């Protein structure tokens, strides 16, 4: 049993014994509050998650995810409770996926340091570490995929721009495939089986998506050689490559962007404006060149007077 003290309408518990723990916690919170024989509150000591696991997924399932900060004590307690309830020792899940922490400019992200950012702020262009507007959610997703989930992800201006460049190179594979001219009965120079194996091995290696991205970039180089007729590929193998890229890029990584031009922008016109801006910069008319950049950044991400995204 716990002694109960109320301070400023908040329930504070004191233990009678170090071995005591609360199985039901009283709460005035509007969200975390359910009716029970012991009053309004919510489950304590990790009981809630254990109950959800057993009800929705069963007593043993494939993958359990969560942040590395939940590994102890939360996940260990889930395992202990589940094993007691189900009278087994199977550790609840076959695979445990513990994602690491987020840093910003190589420093721990936290509210206490006032260096945290919100996903919605990045999408809307309020990202404090850059001077640029609106970054597409798919780009943010790809950026996070660039680091293995078990490693610390460091958010910085340069790393975001680098991810945009890599993403565009991979996306460009579809365009390269469409431009390649194949001939019937050409000798098979490209090792399709090896390419397939590299792709599947990377994803089977503890979801090694950074390695998968490397394989994408390597494939980009191979296909460019086919485009420039340095290497040959037959039509059958080219279709296989297309299907492989489609499966991994769109279905597995979920990185498809719908090609909708919301503002009906003429790319040639944008490039002409960029040329004008470049002339302004040369003439040290920085006030007007900065004005143009802000206008352009509403539609595209501009860096070094080039369209990045």
Give the angle 164-167-169 at the CA atoms, nearest 5°.
110
User: Which residues, including other chains, have CB under 8 Å from residue 223's CB and lie 6 or more apart?
Assistant: 173, 176, 177, 180, 241
Pairing between strand 24-26 and 41-43? antiparallel
Q: Residue 208: its pLDDT value, please?
A: 97
User: Which residues, including other chains, have CB under 8 Å from residue 302's CB and lie 6 or more apart?
Assistant: 132, 274, 293, 296, 308
For 307, the token pair is 């369209």
Percent of the chain with pLDDT over 70: 83
Q: By the 8 A CB rule, do 213 and 146 touch? A: yes
Total residues belonging to the chain: 309
Phi, psi of 97 (to 5 degrees): -105, 105
Q: Fold for domain 2-99?
A: Rossmann fold (3.40.50)
Is the model's pTM score more than 0.85?
Answer: no
186, pLDDT greater than 70: no
What is the rounded CA–CA span in Å between residue 82 and residue 77? 8
Q: By the 8 A CB rule, do 222 and 245 touch? A: no
Q: What kind and span of H or E run contains 302? A: strand 302-303
User: Three-state SS for 307?
Assistant: strand
Q: Residue 263: its pLDDT value, please?
A: 42
Q: By the 8 A CB rule, do 145 and 170 touch? A: no
User: Which residues, including other chains, have CB under 8 Å from residue 125's CB and lie 6 or more apart?
Assistant: 132, 133, 134, 135, 297
User: Which residues, including other chains, have CB under 8 Å from residue 62's CB and lie 6 or more apart?
Assistant: 93, 94, 95
What is the rounded CA–CA span in Å between residue 92 and residue 95? 9
Whose CA is closest to 173, among 211, 225, 239, 224? Answer: 224
Q: What is the pLDDT of residues 277-303, one digit of tens each?
A: 889 989 999 998 888 877 776 665 565
Predicted confidence band at 122 (pLDDT cuts at 50, 70, 90)?
Answer: confident
Partners of 24 in beta bridges: 43
What ranges do the domains of the chain cover? 2-99, 125-252, 267-307
Please state, as a whole number, how many other Cβ atoms lie within 10 Å of the Cβ of residue 174: 13
Predicted confidence band at 219 (pLDDT cuts at 50, 70, 90)?
Answer: very high
Q: What is the pLDDT of residues 136-162, one digit of tens each?
A: 888 889 999 999 999 999 888 788 888
What is the rounded CA–CA span in Å between residue 170 and residue 173? 5
């Amino acid at each position: 049993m716990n002694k109960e003290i109320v301070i400023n309408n908040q329930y504070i518990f004191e233990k009678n014994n170090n071995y005591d723990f609360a199985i039901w916690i009283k709460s005035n919170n509007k969200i975390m509050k359910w009716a029970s024989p012991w009053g309004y509150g919510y489950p304590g000591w990790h009981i809630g998650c254990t109950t959800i696991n057993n009800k929705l997924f069963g007593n043993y399932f494939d993958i359990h995810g969560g942040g590395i900060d939940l590994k102890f004590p939360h996940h260990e307690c889930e395992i202990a409770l589940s094993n007691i309830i189900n009278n087994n020792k199977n550790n609840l899940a076959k695979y445990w996926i513990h994602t690491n922490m987020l840093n910003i400019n190589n420093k721990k992200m936290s509210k206490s340091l006032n260096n945290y950012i919100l996903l919605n702020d990045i999408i809307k262009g309020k990202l404090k570490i850059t001077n640029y507007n609106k970054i597409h959610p798919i780009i943010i997703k790809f950026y996070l995929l660039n680091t293995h989930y078990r490693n610390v992800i460091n958010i910085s201006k340069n790393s975001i721009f680098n991810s945009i460049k890599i993403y565009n190179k991979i996306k460009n594979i579809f365009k390269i495939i469409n431009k390649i001219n194949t001939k019937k009965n050409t000798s098979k120079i490209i090792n399709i089986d090896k390419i397939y194996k590299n792709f599947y091995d990377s994803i089977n290696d503890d979801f090694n998506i950074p390695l998968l991205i490397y394989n994408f970039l390597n494939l980009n180089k191979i296909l460019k050689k086919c485009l420039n007729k340095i290497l040959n590929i037959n039509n059958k193998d080219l279709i296989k490559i297309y299907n492989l890229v489609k499966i991994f890029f769109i279905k597995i990584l979920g990185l498809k962007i719908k090609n909708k031009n919301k503002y009906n922008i003429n790319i040639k016109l944008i490039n002409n404006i960029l040329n004008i801006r470049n002339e302004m910069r040369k003439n040290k008319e920085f006030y007007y060149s900065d004005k143009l950049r802000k206008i352009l950044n509403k539609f595209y991400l501009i860096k070094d007077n080039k369209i990045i995204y």
